[in-house]
Amino acid sequence: MIYGDRHTGILVQGATGQQGSFHIPHMNTYARSVGGRGVVAGVTPGKGGQEVHGVPVYDSVRAAIAEHDVGAAVIFVPAAAATDSIMEEAHAGIPVIVAITERIPVHDTMKAIAYARMEGATVIGPNCPGLISPGEVKLGIIPAHLASRGPVGVISRSGTLTYEVIHELTRAGIGQSTVVGIGGDPVIGQTFTDVLERFRHDPATKAVVVIGEVGGALEEEGVASTDIPVVGYIAGVSAPPEKRMGHAGAIVEGGEGDAASKIRRMEALGVPVARRVAEIPALVKEFL
Amino acid sequence: MRLLECEAKEIYARYGIPVPKGVRVKAGEPVPADLATIGPELVLKAQVEVGGRGKAGGILPATPADAPRVAEELFQKEIRGVPVREILIEERLLIRHEFYLSILVDRSSRQPLILFAEAGGVDIEQAARETPEAVRRVTVSPLLSEVPPFALRDLLGDMVKEFGPVVNRLWKVFREKDAILAEVNPLVTTDRGVFAADAKLIVDDNALTRQGITVNRDLSPREREAESHGFSYVELDGTIGVIGNGAGLTMATLDLIQFYGGRAANFLDVGGGADKERVKHAVRLVAGRPGVKVILVNLLGGITRCDDVARGILDAGVAQTVMVRLAGTNEAEGKAILDGRGYPMFATMDEAVKAAVEAGA
């Protein structure tokens, strides 16, 4: 439990949209199964007074928090409006903001994250699947049936690759404390360093899987910043340089951020790095 | 998307950054007759979106008299594999000193980062690796419309007067043009003042629409077609066509192919919630490339429904064998649709990749 628990009331921004209305019942089914509060309010400007799967919708975050105790927000609005949503929630005092939205221009992201920091809010994402603390809370779209409760934290820049990893961990009988998708964009609110710091202070977490990919150096920086046991995996060993591999942030630029150098640097810090996803559970077991 | 030097310079000039006098000439167009009005000595520069152009012979000196012949010579060339379709004819500057200036998006600080070095005209990545102290760095809050004076002092030391205005104009370009990199290398001093002798501007792909850019020239025609279907697609040179959902999982699939000794023909991420039609288009797109012997579909569904995916694969009806690994929502229904129809199915990524590598050899 590092960003919320079963007592966290969730606000969904973009509640009446296709994505929002699809994921609200999934989050609430999960909340019911673990005795959590789930989604308590939705926001879509102009749709105040409606309900989505029994969740009341408000015109603004301000109006929603006047009626509900909200500990975290999940954003499903389109890219053009997403950073306004981040700022609206931060301004309203919501401490944890998960931005699922992809394809946000990076200048907008930089501004929204800088603003949220000034307001004291923590942003996860954008372009991320959110997080799940099995048995406690799901903030976002990670398929809950793949996860199981246990001592291993997972941090990833990817969505479905994260699902693959927790699927493998669960099959190997290794449960997860919290799984955080930090997002595939070059600029993201919570980096590996930030999440590793939270895990270090989390009594439920004994070891962490860091799932990185080509582009930047956030993986190495994160691993170097902590003393919690870490197992690594880096996607994009076969990625050609100067090509964007799906994620806006997944690009080897100017000879920097390639998978081989990331793996080398992580291993130099004493971190075992799996060459295949299927190898991850065995490496994690060494630390448990 | 990376802009051409001439396009970047036109933007810089509009923002008040001095650039050399010059004229653009496209292949097949005549070279203007009045080149002497540009300058007594000229430089002809191939307009290609690749680095290391000078070393590859893409920049040639000329006089106004022999410029047409030199231009013809440049148009015959390929610069690092890229044909020259346009050149920029510029006045030759009498350079006193070369500097380096750029603004980029810094992932670690989540802010723009300004770089300045007193040695310009060089490979800055290499310079930064060899003598990191020679490159000065300042992060600036993305919320500020101007670079504050203290940051200019940190960046430029006693050269604030000389370069401060250029830094602030480039800052404006960087912000207003949604740049992920705005570079001037070299930034030169002459007896007529400061000039951007070269210009590199890369616009955020997520902001092309609002920048009025309709075609992403960084993409090949097939990559553009893929983009129009909402796929992320990169062409590679192997024999195994790959379709995955999610960038990370698709990359991991390519890596696993390489691990088991195979070669992928492409990277194709169909995106979240792929339905029948999208899967059909994806399979056909991948199958349509020459040299693709086998296709591997690796989909792990959260939102994606396996029965939809299976119908899409069936509808595509391509000649190559399609190997399938499906997991997630409606998995059993999906498998039932493909069962007995010649689509090998696998429970894990490793098994699927091994089989595809064998078939693609």
B41 backbone dihedrals φ, ψ, rounded to 5°: -125, 140
- A133-191 per-position pLDDT tens digit: 999 999 999 999 999 999 999 999 999 999 999 999 999 999 999 999 999 999 999 99
- Is the pLDDT at A68 greater than 90, yes or no? yes
Option in B141, B180, B269 nearest A106 (CB): B180
**Segment B81-103 mean pLDDT:** 95
Phi (first) and psi of residue A3, to 5 degrees: -125, -10
Provide the CATH number for the domain around residue B85.
3.30.1490.20
Question: What average pLDDT does chain A have?
Answer: 96
Q: Which residue has the tokens 């553009």?
A: B224
pLDDT tier for residue B81 given thresholds of 50, 70 and 90: confident
Task: Report the interhelical angle of B5-14 vs B160-176 (nearest 10°).
Answer: 110
Residues in chain A within 8 Å Cβ distance of B234? 240, 243-245
Which of A111, A254, A277 is the closest to B349 by Cβ?
A277
**Is residue B213 in a domain?**
no
Binned at pLDDT 50, 70 and 90, residue B41 comes out as very high
The shortest C-alpha distance from A67 to chain B (Å) reads 31
- Of A117, A123, A218, A238, which to mutate for an interface test with B (greatest number of B Cβ within 10 Å)? A238
Is B6 a domain residue?
Answer: no
Q: SS in 3 state form for chain B? A: CECCHHHHHHHHHHCCCCCCCEEEEECCCCCCCCHHHCCCCEEEEECCCCCCCCCCCCEEEECCCCHHHHHHHHHCCEECCEECCEEEEEECCCCCEEEEEEEEEECCCCEEEEEEECCCCCCHHHHHHHCHHHEEEEECCCCCCCCCHHHHHHHHHHHHHHHHHHHHHHHHHHHHCCEEEEEEEEEEEECCEEEECCCEEEECHHHCCCCCCCCCCCCCHHHHHHHHCCCEEEECCCCEEEEECCHHHHHHHHHHHHHCCCCECEEEECCCCCCHHHHHHHHHHHHCCCCCCEEEEEEECCCCCHHHHHHHHHHHCCCCEEEEEEECCCHHHHHHHHCCCCCCEECCHHHHHHHHHHHHC
What value does the mean pLDDT take over residues A276-280? Answer: 96
Best CA proximity match to B203, nearest among B178, B175, B172, B183: B178
Say if residue B270's pLDDT is above 80.
Answer: yes
Pinpoint the residues of chain A covered by CATH 3.40.50.720: 10-124
For residue B111, give how far its alpha carbon lies from the nearest alpha carbon of chain A (Å): 6
- Given an 8 Å threshold on Cβ–Cβ distance, is A114 in contact with B205? no
Please answer whether residues A252 and A211 qualify as being in contact, where contact means their C-beta atoms are separated by less than 8 angstroms: no
Q: A255: closest CA among A235, A274, A240, A272?
A: A240
Q: Which residues contact B158 (CB under 8 A, 6 or more apart)?
A: none
- Region A105-129: mean pLDDT is 98
A257-269 as b/e: b if 16+ CB within 10 A: bbbebbbebbeee
Does B10 reside within a domain? no
> Is B72 within the bounds of a domain?
yes
Is 70 exceeded by the pLDDT of residue B122? no
Q: Which residues pair with A98 in a beta bridge?
A: A74, A124
- B34-63 mean pLDDT: 92
The one catalytic residue among B5, B183, B233, B343: B183
Q: What is the pLDDT of residue B121?
A: 72
B1 domain residue, yes or no: no
Q: Is residue B51 a part of any domain in this protein?
A: yes
Q: Is the pLDDT of residue B281 over 90?
A: yes
Tell whether B307 is within 8 A of chain A (Cβ).
Answer: no
Are residues B111 and B81 part of one domain? no
CA distance between the termini of chain B: 35
Do A184 and A246 contact (CB within 8 A), yes or no?
yes
Radius of gyration of chain B (CA): 26
CA distance B24 to chain A (A): 27
Please give the C-alpha separations between residue A176 and each of A71, A133, A184, in angstroms, as whole numbers: 22, 7, 21
pLDDT of residue B53: 87
CATH number of A10-124: 3.40.50.1820, 3.40.50.720, 1.10.490.10, 3.40.50.300? 3.40.50.720
- Closest CB to A115: pick one of B105, B143, B180: B143
- If asked whether residues B200 and B153 sit together in one domain, one would say yes
Q: How many Å apart are CA B148 and CA B151, to the nearest integer?
A: 5
CA atoms within 13 A on the CB side of B237: 1
Containing structural domain, residue B161: 97-207
Q: Which residues of B touch A189 (CB under 8 A)?
A: 110
User: Which residue's structure tokens are 């942003």?
Assistant: A123
Rounded to the nearest 10°, the torsion over CA A53, A59, A65, A68 is -30
Yes or no: say if B113 and B106 are a contact pair by the CB < 8 Å rule: yes
| CB-side neighbour CA atoms (13 Å) of B234 | 21
Phi, psi for residue B337 in degrees, rounded to 5: -65, -40
B43 and B68, same domain (yes or no) = yes
What pLDDT score does B220 carry? 82
pLDDT of B50 higher than 90: no
User: Is the model's pLDDT at A242 over the cut of 90?
Assistant: no
The helix-helix angle for B276-287 and B221-228 (nearest 10°) equals 170
> What are the pLDDT digits (tens) for B130-162?
888 889 999 999 999 999 999 999 999 999 999
Instruction: List the catalytic residues of A.
Output: 247
Q: Searching chain B, which residue's CA lies closest to the CA of residue A104?
A: B206
| Buried/exposed B298-313: b ≥16 CB within 10 Å, e otherwise | bbbbbbbbbbbbbbbb
- For range A249-270, the mean pLDDT: 90
Compute how many other C-beta atoms are within 10 angstroms of the C-beta atom of residue B263: 17
Q: Match domain A142-285 to its CATH number in 3.30.1360.20, 3.40.50.720, 3.90.220.20, 3.40.50.261.
A: 3.40.50.261
